[in-house]
Structure formats: C-alpha cells, structure tokens
Amino acid sequence: MGHSQENNTNAGILNRYQKTISVSLKQNMPNENSEVYKLLSYSMGWIDINGNKKNNNLGKALRPSLCLFACESLSGSIGPSIPAAVAIELIHKFSLIHDDIQDKDEFRYNQATLWTIWGVPKALIAGNVLRIIADQCLEKLVANGTEIDRTLFVIEILTQSYLEMIEGQYLDIYYEGSPGISIEEYMNMIKNKTGALIKSSLQIGAVIGTQNIDIINAFSECGSSIGYLFQIRDDILGVWGESKNTGKPVGSDIKMKKNSFPICYAISNAKNKTKKFLIDKYSKKSITNNDVIEILDVLESLKIKKHAEDITDYHAERAIKALKQKNIPCSTIKEIENLVDFLSTRNH
C-alpha cells in the first residue's frame, strides 16, 4: 500500500452519507429555545459563537458512515440504521467535548473549543446532554422497523463500546507524564479509546442489516483493524504531519509529550543510550522546540515513521481480509479497500 500524499480526497463511503447524517443529527437535537442547544449547535459547526447560522459540518463522520454502509451493503437500505448512526456520532462528539477539557485543547476543527468559550462546567453538561440524546435516538430503532431483541443487542453493543472508549481515555490521562509505556499498553489504550466506537459502528450496522452472526463478526473484526490504523495514522500526522494540512506545527504531539505510537515504539525498541535520551527528554517538565528537533532526529535514525506506516498497512490488510473470508459482495469489499487506503494515507 503506497503512502503518496496525493490521496487527499474523501473515500466514497465518507462522501455518500454526509447529507443524511447532517439532516438526521439536526432532527434529533433539542429545540432551539434551549440554552444548551446553542453550545451543542456550535460544537457541531451549525452556528458561530454569536449564534449565526453556518453550514460547516465538522469532521469526517467516519463512524456513522461505517454504520450506514454496513447496513446498506447487507440489507440494501440505510433507513433502519439511521437512528443508530446518529447515536454513534453523538457519542463521538460527546467524547470530543470532554477530551478537549481533559487535554486542555483550545481549538478543534480550527474553531475555539466549547470549554474555552463557555467554561468547563457548561461544556461538561453539554457533553452529558449529547450522550443522553444519543441514548434516546436508539429508541427510534424500533419505530424504524428493527425488532426489539435486535434493538436491545444494538444498545448493548453501543453502551459497552462507549464504556471502553471512556476507559481508554482514562488510561490516556493516567499514562500522561510516564514516559516509555510499553507498546502493549499503548495498543490496549487505543483499542479502547479510538477502536471501540469504530469497531461497534460497523458491527451495529451489520446487526441491523443481517442476522448472519458470521458476517456480523467479520464486520466487527474489520472495524477493529480500522480503529488501529486510524489512530496510528493520526499519531504519524501528530509527529510528521505538515502544518498546512493538520493545522498544528510539525512535532506537536512531541511538544505536548503525548504517548503516541512513534514515541512508544521508539522507546520500546531503542537501545541503552538512545532509550535513556528519549526517556530523559519526555521526563522534562516541558519540551523545548530544540528538544523536538533532537527527538525527531532520533526517530529518523530509528526509522520509526517507516515502522509506523508498516503497522498501519498491516491493520489495513487485516481489515480487508476479515471481510474477504466471508460471503460478502465484491463491491462491498472494494469500497472498504478504498476507505482503508484513504484512512491509511490521509494527510489531515
């Protein structure tokens, strides 16, 4: 799988459902008179800080798109899975609002984060409200024609996945300031923090689209691998991504002392002096721009970027292989191949 930076267009799956997701999210938001609605609409990119309307839907909508895609490819229709897709995206957005507070991030999608404008207490409540609206959305599955037992299964999958997501976020915070967490600890953290919701997106779409447990499990496995490659690619961009694409300076994750894949892999695999150098740098109270340059030099000497891209490719192949082993249409596999290629090589 190549790593050309030309692959900058959205994969088909990420384009196809944008309008449906956007309209459905708006339909499920509380009424406009509610004060908390302003915060939620701002976080979704629908209004600016003064309450003026914007048409700026924020983010790739990866998770709800995966849910709709799985359902459509197995049942021929996205209709039954729309409430679940909306719930999944709201859970994701809830997690971002809380993550921004925990990480003290002041910007997301090139706009000021909720807590920096309205303060931490209100931002926390806004996040909690989104999570509750997500739960309410799932009740609409029955009205959309999904049997009660399958609806309960979907609720169980989604609730379990966002519990794992929150546990992963806790681990991320817990590991802060402890340089040199093992690659196993890192992979376990991202399996929960990023992977759980991505995995359940495909799994839930499949549960609504078919009763074939083998095929549901294949989509679930595929989602698990997409979760890994998505986060590791994110980590590559956090260290080597170009500012014009990421909106962040090169090496920004190093400056913030994040336990990202390149650093964990480097510390796990470096020998004596180099390992000590990296741990010493990451143990400092703050990392200077000069430290960032020195750390980037070490990562280059250890060929860490190449290793990270190889691991991304490994999970890309596993994602596709999970579906190829089952009786799943070639057109579905082709679309997943395109998506996986896009996610593995994206530059922002």
Tens digit of each residue's pLDDT, the chain (348 residues): 444 333 444 578 999 999 999 999 999 987 766 889 899 999 999 999 988 898 776 678 999 999 999 999 999 999 999 999 999 999 999 999 999 999 888 888 878 999 999 999 999 999 999 999 999 999 999 998 999 999 999 999 999 999 999 999 999 999 988 877 899 999 999 999 999 999 999 999 999 999 999 999 999 999 999 999 999 999 999 999 887 777 777 888 898 888 999 999 999 999 999 999 999 999 998 999 999 999 999 999 999 999 999 999 999 999 999 999 888 889 999 999 999 999 999 988
- Please tell me what DSSP assigns to residue 325: T
| Residue 3 maps to a domain | no
Q: Tally the C-alpha atoms within 13 A of residue 68's C-alpha that lie toward its C-beta.
A: 24
In the numeric block, which tokens belong to residue 164? 């794992």
Residue carrying the six token digits 């190889």: 310
Taking the C-alpha atoms of residue 105 and residue 90, their distance in angstroms, rounded to an integer, is: 20
Within a domain: residue 32?
yes
User: Half-sphere exposure of 39 toward its Cβ, with a 13 Å CA cutoff?
Assistant: 24
State the pLDDT at residue 4. Answer: 39
Radius of gyration of the chain (CA): 20
Indicate whether 303 belongs to any domain: yes
Neighbouring CB atoms inside 10 A of 116's CB total 16
Is residue 4 situated within a structural domain? no
Model pTM greater than 0.85?
A: yes
> What residues make up the domain containing 104?
12-345
| Token pair 């020998």: residue | 271
What pLDDT is recorded for position 57? 65
Cα–Cα nearest to 134, from 160, 155, 150: 155
CA atoms of 220 and 200, how far apart (whole Å):
7
CA distances from 18 to 38, 53, 62, 318 (A): 22, 18, 10, 27
For residue 290, what are its two tokens?
């000069």
- Short-list 16, 15, 22, CA closest to 46: 22
Residue 1 lies in a domain: no
Nearest to 71 by CA among 150, 156, 159: 150
Q: Which two tokens stand for residue 205?
A: 């779409």
Say what the pLDDT of residue 5 is.
Answer: 39
DSSP E strands in the chain: the ranges are: 107-108, 111-112
Tell me, yes or no, whether 207 lies in a domain. yes
| C-alpha–C-alpha distance, residues 155 and 189, integer Å | 23
Q: Is residue 105 part of a domain?
A: yes
Cβ atoms 127, 198 nearer than 8 A: no
Q: Which pLDDT tens digit goes with each residue over 173-222?
A: 999 888 778 999 999 999 999 999 999 999 999 999 999 999 999 999 99
pLDDT, tens digit, for every residue of 41-81?
999 999 999 888 987 766 789 999 999 999 999 999 999 99
Domain with residue 242: its CATH number is 1.10.600.10
pLDDT of residue 2: 46
281: phi then psi, degrees, rounded to nearest 5: -60, -45
Any domain includes 18 = yes
Helical pair 35-44 and 120-138, crossing angle rounded to 10 deg: 80
CA 188, 190, 194, 199 torsion: positive or negative?
Answer: negative
How many distinct structural domains can be found in the chain? 1
From residue 231, alpha-carbon distances to 3, 50, 192, 206, 311 in Å are 16, 34, 11, 23, 11
Q: Distance (Å, rounded) from C-alpha 278 to C-alpha 270?
A: 9
Report d(CA 322, CA 13) in Å as an integer: 18
Residues in the chain: 348
